[in-house]
A and B are shown apart, each in its own frame.
Chain A
Amino acid sequence: MIEFTIDGKKVKATEGEFILPVALREGFDIPTLCHHEALGSDGRCRICVVEVKRGSRKRIVTSCLYPVADGIEVSTNAPDVMLVRKSVLELLYARCPEAEVLGHLAKKYGVENVRYSKDHDKGKCILCNICIRACAEIVGVSALGFSGKGMSKKVTTPFDEPSDTCIACGACVVACPTGHIFMKDDKGVRTIWKKKFPLAQCPECSRFHAPVEQLQYISKVTNVPLETLMVCQDCR
Chain B
Amino acid sequence: MIQSLDDLEKIKEDFAGRIKKYGKTVKICFGTGCVSSGSQAVYDGLVGALEKESLNKKVRVVKTGCHGFCEKGPIVVFNDDEIFYQSVGKKKIEEDIALLLDTIKNGKVADKLLYKSADKLKKFVSTKEIPFYAMQKKIVLDLNGAIDPEDIDEYIAHGGYSALQKALTAMTPDEVLDWVQKSGLRGRGGGGFSTGTKWKSCKDAHGGPKYIMANGDEGDPGAFMDRSLMEGNPGVILEGMIIGGYTIGSNQGYIYVRDEYPLAVKRLGIALEQAVKYGFLGKNIFNSGFDFDIKIVRGGGAFVCGESTALMSSLEGKSGEPRAKYVHTVEKGLWDKPSNLNNVETWACVPAIINRGWQWFASIGSEGSKGTKVFSLVGKVNNTGLIEVPMGTTLRQIIFDLGDGIQNNKEFKAVQTGGPSGGCIPKEYLDTAVDFDTLWELGSMMGSGGMIVMDDKNCMVDVARYFLKFLVEESCGKCVPCREGIRRMLEIVERICDGEGDEGDIAHLKELGRAVNIGSLCGLGQSASNPVLSTLRYFMDEYEAHIAHKKCPAGVCKPLINYTILDNCTGCTLCARECPSNCIIGDKKKPHTIDTKKCIKCGMCYEVCKFGAVNVV
* Interface range on chain B (Cβ under 8 Å from partner): 20 to 34
The answer to whether A44 and B480 touch (CB under 8 A), given A80-B518, A116-B491, A150-B474, is yes
B-contact 0/1 string along A64-106, CB 8 Å cutoff:
0111000000000000100110011001101100000000000
Secondary structure type dominating chain B contacts: helix
How many whole Å from A109's CB to the nearest CB in chain B?
13
In Å, the complex CA distance between A151 and B484 comes to 7
A177 sits at the interface (CB 8 A): no
Which residues of B, 512-531, contact A by the 8 Å Cβ criterion? Answer: 512, 514-516, 518-521
Residues of B within 8 A of A91 (CB): 480-481, 484-485, 488
A149 sits at the interface (CB 8 A): yes
Question: When the two chains form their complex, are residues A150 and B475 in contact, meaning their CB atoms are under 8 A apart?
Answer: yes
The answer to whether A149 and B515 touch (CB under 8 A), given A91-B484, A115-B508, is no
Partner-contacting stretch, out of B57-65, B158-166, B320-328? B320-328
Question: When the two chains form their complex, are residues B474 and A88 in contact, meaning their CB atoms are under 8 A apart?
Answer: no
The answer to whether A148 and B520 touch (CB under 8 A), given A87-B515, A94-B484, is no
Question: When the two chains form their complex, are residues A149 and B480 in contact, meaning their CB atoms are under 8 A apart?
Answer: no
Question: When the two chains form their complex, are residues A46 and B520 in contact, meaning their CB atoms are under 8 A apart?
Answer: yes
B476 sits at the interface (CB 8 A): yes
How many whole Å from B589's CB to the nearest CB in chain A?
52
The answer to whether A60 and B519 touch (CB under 8 A), given A150-B476, A151-B477, is yes
**Among B474, B479, B514, which residue has its beta carbon within 8 angstroms of that of A83?**
B514
Residues of A within 8 A of B327 (CB): 67
Residues of A within 8 A of B324 (CB): 43, 62, 65-66
* Count of A interface residues, CB-CB < 8 Å: 34
Which residues of B, 270-298, contact A by the 8 Å Cβ criterion? Answer: none
A-contact 0/1 string along B321-341, CB 8 Å cutoff:
001101100000000000000
In Å, the complex CA distance between A131 and B595 comes to 58
A-contact 0/1 string along B202-216, CB 8 Å cutoff:
000000000000000
Question: When the two chains form their complex, are residues A87 and B481 in contact, meaning their CB atoms are under 8 A apart?
Answer: yes
A146 sits at the interface (CB 8 A): yes
Question: When the two chains form their complex, are residues B483 and A150 in contact, meaning their CB atoms are under 8 A apart?
Answer: yes
How many whole Å from B513's CB to the nearest CB in chain A?
10
The answer to whether A146 and B319 touch (CB under 8 A), given A91-B480, A91-B481, is yes
Question: When the two chains form their complex, are residues B519 and A84 in contact, meaning their CB atoms are under 8 A apart?
Answer: yes
Residues of A within 8 A of B485 (CB): 87, 91
A153 sits at the interface (CB 8 A): yes
Question: When the two chains form their complex, are residues A127 and B477 in contact, meaning their CB atoms are under 8 A apart?
Answer: yes
Q: A83-B518, A87-B519 are in contact. List 5 more A-B contacts (CB 8 A).
A: A46-B480, A87-B512, A92-B480, A150-B476, A153-B483
Question: When the two chains form their complex, are residues B483 and A60 in contact, meaning their CB atoms are under 8 A apart?
Answer: no
Question: When the two chains form their complex, are residues B515 and A84 in contact, meaning their CB atoms are under 8 A apart?
Answer: yes
B478 sits at the interface (CB 8 A): yes
A168 sits at the interface (CB 8 A): no
A111 sits at the interface (CB 8 A): no
What are the 6 closest A-B residue pairs judged by CB atoms, nearest first? A153-B477, A87-B515, A84-B519, A91-B484, A150-B475, A150-B477
